Every structure is written in structure tokens, then in C-alpha cells.
Amino acid sequence: MTTIADAPAAVRPRRRAALGWIALALALLLIGLVGTTLVYGGWKEKGLLDPESPAPDGARALVRILQQQGVTVTVARDRGAAERALAEGDATLVMRDAPMLSDATLRSLAEPARDVVLVEPRSRSLDVLLNGSALGGFANDRPTAPGCDLPAPDAAGTARTGELMMPGQGVTGCYPVDGEFGLLSRETREGHTVTALDGLSTMTNAALPLDGNAALAIGTLARTGTVVWYVPSPTDAEAGMAPQTLGELTPAWVTPGIVLLLLSALVAAIWRGRRFGPLVNERLPVMVRANETTEGRARLYAASGDASHALDELRRATRGRLIRVMGLAAHTPPDHVADAVAERLGADRGAIRGILITDTPTTDRDLVAASDRLRDLETSVRAALSTERTTR
């Protein structure tokens, strides 16, 4: 009888535990690297009305159409880039809502532009740039006639304007719905205009093909040969205009408290967590040779004096081999196996059944004789099958 040495068995659990901790550390490091890459590595999902976004709520299709018509489109992702692009000559400034900019900065940013188009108007920008205008309700998702004589709406015809606005003094309204308007426009000085409309309902990739939305968007933005599309950035925030962070809004004790709770949870997890590997060192199972197992069972049968049970085991094994040799079904009953053997050998069915099924030994001598008969029968069947194959 052989066993596995104890020394390697004691080393393996420690090795598995070390490998488990190393794998955990590598997994945490990988998660940290992926998170850092996603946050700081420059991968960011494009926002609504982004001029480079192919998503349904992006505006890349409109930018491509403008470029095909000879309009130069410059995407400015911060205020400095927008101011530099506007300083190069007459251009149309397209901008979303920029809550981080002060009123004075909004006016100074819009000043050099020939045309200003607010594609996400909010009450503050409407009040500052459109002479006291304000937001109203929301139009149903149905086409609306222009109802004004401005060139772009008149050429576009019906459009789906979405968000409605209330015009201030000297502001022209188009696409009227229940006393409010889907487009506002004001001439600030000769040749310079400020226009506001809901870009999400008219200029996105999904909305552009509907009714006269494409014509309205192109007519509004393509009055000059250059479009500066300003995408506000959080870095454009001015002192006093930047939104407060979560850390600034919470009391000073919250952050240390959260850190302490996280450390306590980590310590509790290590304390109560299940170790890698077995809890105690234990020996591996004993390996026993097959012949030793067979010899041990034979001695048990001999000690019990149960010759019939021992012969049944020999018969079961012999029938299994005969079934495989003769190509019978795996679950063929014993009597059918005996009949098949008798037919193959041309022998008496009763004698074959006695050997394979019914004969009952009473002594060890009878058991040995029955065992010899089983061996001879199996040999005869194999010889008969071999002869048949040779003859064929």
C-alpha cells in the first residue's frame, strides 16, 4: 500500500493561499486601471446635440450636410477655442446651454458672432440674449406651420419644434402653438441675429429627416460660410458660477466617516472571510492497487463462506463480457444471453442456463468448478466468433 508524501501536501495549501491573494491583488489593480482609463483616459460618451456624435441624439448628420454645402464647421470644446474661432471673421455661433458662464461672459462670447443660434435655450440665456424672452410649454409631436416671414422658417415650411418659448420685446416668434412659439429670433444690430429653437426636436440625427426640420436647421445655421459649434466644458466655469461638488455640500465629518466605515468593512471581511485553501492540513486519500482490491474482496467472500454470492459476481462479469463480444444490447436479460450463447455454440439451452444462471454451488470445490465452466464457455464463444469472421 502506497501513500503520498506529507511534505508536499503541507506546502500546497500555502501555495494556493498565496496564489489566491496574488490573484485578488491583480484583479483589484486591473479594475483600478480600467476605471482610471475610463475616467481620465479621454473616453467619454458624447453628449446631447454633440456635433461629432452619430447617436440618435447627436448632430453629426447636420454637420456633414453643412460641410457638403461648403460651410466650414469648427467644433470648439472650450470657451477659449470658440473665442479664437470667432475672431477669425464672420461666423455663426451654435451653442447649448452654458450655466457655468456668467451673463457678461455670454454677451461677450456672442458679440463677435454674426449669428448666434441657441440650440438648447434656457430661461437665463433667453433673458440675456433675447431681450427678456422665457421658456414656455412643450408642443405636441406634430408638424407646425411657420406663421412668420423669416427666411429660414418660410423656406422650410412645417417643422416639429418641441420646446416652446415666450418672446420678449422686439423678438419675432415662429411656429406658434397656443400663444407660444417654437422659434424666436431677434436682430441685435444690422446683419446680426440671435435665434433660439429646440435642437433636440429639430437638429438631432433622429429628428433631422422629419418634415421640414432639415431645411429649417440648414437655413438657420448656414447664413454664413463658417459655423463655430461651441460645446461648453466644465473647465469654462468662472468663479462663483461653478456648481458645488458633493464634498462642498456635505459636512466636513462625512468624508472621514465614510473612509473609516470602508476600512472597518475591509478589516471585518479579512477577519471573518474564508481563507483560500483548506482550513486544516489533511492527508490525501490512500492509493490502493486494483489487484489488491480484488484480492481483498476475494478473501472476504472466502471468510463469509458464501459461495453462491461469489459465483453470482463471476457470472455477472462473464455475462457482461459475452454481451459485448456478441454485440447484444447492454440490458439484455440473463436468460436471453444464455439462449444466444446456446444458439451460437449449438449447445443445450438447459446446460448453458445452468452455467450462466441456475447452478448453485455448495462448497468451495463446486465454486472452483463452476468458475472453470464459465471460463471455458467464454473461451468457446470467442473461438466460435473468431472462426465465423475467418470464414467470411
Look at 116 and 390; give whichever has higher pLDDT: 116
The H or E element that residue 33 is part of is helix 6-40
- The pLDDT of residue 301 is 66
Which pLDDT band holds residue 243 (cuts at 50, 70, 90)? low
Taking 70 as the threshold, does the pLDDT of residue 254 lie above it? yes
pLDDT average, residue stretch 365-370: 83
Residue for grid cell 472453470? 372
- The pLDDT of residue 168 is 92
Taking 90 as the threshold, does the pLDDT of residue 36 lie above it? no
pLDDT average, residue stretch 136-140: 86
Look at 274 and 26; give whichever has higher pLDDT: 26
pLDDT average, residue stretch 25-33: 71
Secondary structure class of 329 (helix, strand, coil)? coil
- The pLDDT of residue 237 is 77
pLDDT average, residue stretch 282-290: 65
pLDDT average, residue stretch 253-265: 83
Q: Quick one: what percent of the chain has pLDDT higher than 90?
A: 33
Which pLDDT band holds residue 41 (cuts at 50, 70, 90)? very low
Among the listed residues 314, 340, 339, 313, the one whose alpha carbon sits nearest the alpha carbon of residue 326: 340
Q: Express each pLDDT in 51-66 by its tens digit.
A: 999 999 999 999 999 9
Secondary structure class of 56 (helix, strand, coil)? coil
Do 101 and 79 meet the contact criterion of CB atoms below 8 Å apart? yes
Taking 80 as the threshold, does the pLDDT of residue 110 lie above it? yes
pLDDT average, residue stretch 205-211: 91
Residues 6 or more apart whose CB falls under 8 angstroms from that of 172 comprise: 148, 150, 184, 185, 186
Which pLDDT band holds residue 10 (cuts at 50, 70, 90)? very low
Do 264 and 131 meet the contact criterion of CB atoms below 8 Å apart? no
Which pLDDT band holds residue 197 (cuts at 50, 70, 90)? very high
The H or E element that residue 193 is part of is strand 192-197
- The pLDDT of residue 61 is 94
pLDDT average, residue stretch 192-202: 92
- The pLDDT of residue 82 is 92
Do 291 and 346 meet the contact criterion of CB atoms below 8 Å apart? no
Look at 41 and 287; give whichever has higher pLDDT: 287
pLDDT average, residue stretch 325-344: 88
CA–CA dist 153, 92 (Å, integer): 17
Q: How big, in percent rounded to 5, are the helix, strand and coil portions of the chain?
A: 50, 15, 35
Q: Maximum distance among all alpha carbons in the chain?
A: 128
Interstrand relation of 134-138 and 163-166 (parallel, antiparallel or unpaired):
antiparallel
